[in-house]
């Protein structure tokens, strides 16, 4: 097995020191447009969690208080098809948030493997995802980055991850976020108004992504 890049080793050591007594980083899971994802152990509750650390350049323009205030909206979402937010905070100058670690695969992995889903399964998944979107939208929260990679399958049921995180980042950072060069969305699934950089994004943007 190849060694992880030096910067990842440094970040893991930094996080373990900063989060001592709360979380223990196990390993790097993956890296997205906004955050690096680690498998960690929640010491207090003795459970595995997904600990997601925002890109340093992104966190630098957000500000701790502003980001943590915005992410509280996500913490109040409760729906069986939404992955809940367990915790959030700042550690060693890095902003992080914590969600359940889902044992299973993403919808993207399933699609890559099976190429095409049976109609009845596709309809079942779409209805569950649409129900979660409807609930969140009624709470005034938009995902902004809905895609198969952000839909995890747990015991056959879809759960949407990172709901409202992009919205919290956008609200916390404002126009400064664009200076980081990081995209708050995925081009293949962006609605036209999101791709155009329109700040007034509403629920229709998520519906557009779901239709794709």
**CA distance linking residue 136 with residue 47, whole number of Å:** 26
pLDDT by 10-residue block (mean), the chain, 212 residues: 50 86 92 89 96 88 88 91 94 92 93 94 96 94 91 95 86 69 73 76 90 74
Catalytic residue among 145, 198, 202, 206: 145
Per-residue model confidence (pLDDT) at position 161: 94
Residue given tokens 């993956």 in the structure block: 30
**CA distance linking residue 189 with residue 107, whole number of Å:** 14
**CA distance linking residue 148 with residue 209, whole number of Å:** 10
Helix (H/G/I), strand (E/B), else coil: 143: coil
Instruction: Look at residues 47, 50, 54 and name the one whose alpha carbon lies nearest to residue 91.
Output: 54
Residue given tokens 């060694």 in the structure block: 3
Give span(s): CATH 3.30.200.20, the chain. Answer: 6-100
Per-residue model confidence (pLDDT) at position 41: 97
Does 155 participate in catalysis according to the annotation? no
Per-residue model confidence (pLDDT) at position 112: 95
Locate 31 and state its tokens: 């890296």
**CA neighbours closer than 13 Å in the CB half-sphere of residue 13:** 7
Question: What homologous superfamily does CATH list for 107-211?
Answer: Transferase(Phosphotransferase) domain 1 (1.10.510.10)
**CA distance linking residue 157 with residue 7, whole number of Å:** 36
Per-residue model confidence (pLDDT) at position 84: 94
Per-residue model confidence (pLDDT) at position 198: 66
Evaluate whether the domain defined by 6-100 bears CATH number 3.30.200.20: yes
Give span(s): CATH 1.10.510.10, the chain. Answer: 107-211
């Amino acid at each position: 097995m190849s060694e992880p890049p030096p910067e990842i080793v440094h970040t893991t050591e930094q996080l373990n020191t900063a989060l001592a007594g709360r979380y223990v980083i196990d390993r790097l899971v993956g890296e997205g447009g906004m955050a690096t994802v680690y498998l960690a152990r929640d010491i207090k509750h003795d459970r595995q969690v997904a600990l997601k650390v925002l890109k340093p350049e992104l966190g630098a323009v957000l500000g701790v208080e502003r980001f943590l205030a915005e992410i509280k909206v996500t913490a109040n979402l409760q729906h069986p098809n939404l992955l809940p937010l367990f915790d959030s905070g700042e550690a060693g100058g890095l902003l992080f948030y914590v969600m359940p670690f889902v044992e299973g695969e993403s919808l993207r992995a399933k699609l890559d493997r099976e190429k095409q889903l049976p109609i009845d399964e596709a309809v079942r998944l779409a209805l569950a995802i649409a129900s979660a979107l409807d609930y969140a939208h009624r709470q005034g929260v938009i995902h902004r980055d809905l895609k198969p990679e952000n839909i995890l399958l747990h015991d056959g049921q879809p759960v949407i991850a990172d709901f409202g995180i992009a919205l919290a980042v956008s609200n916390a950072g404002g126009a400064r976020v664009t200076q980081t060069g990081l995209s708050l969305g995925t081009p293949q699934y962006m609605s036209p108004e999101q791709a155009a950089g329109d700040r007034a994004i509403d629920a229709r943007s998520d519906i557009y992504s779901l239709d794709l």
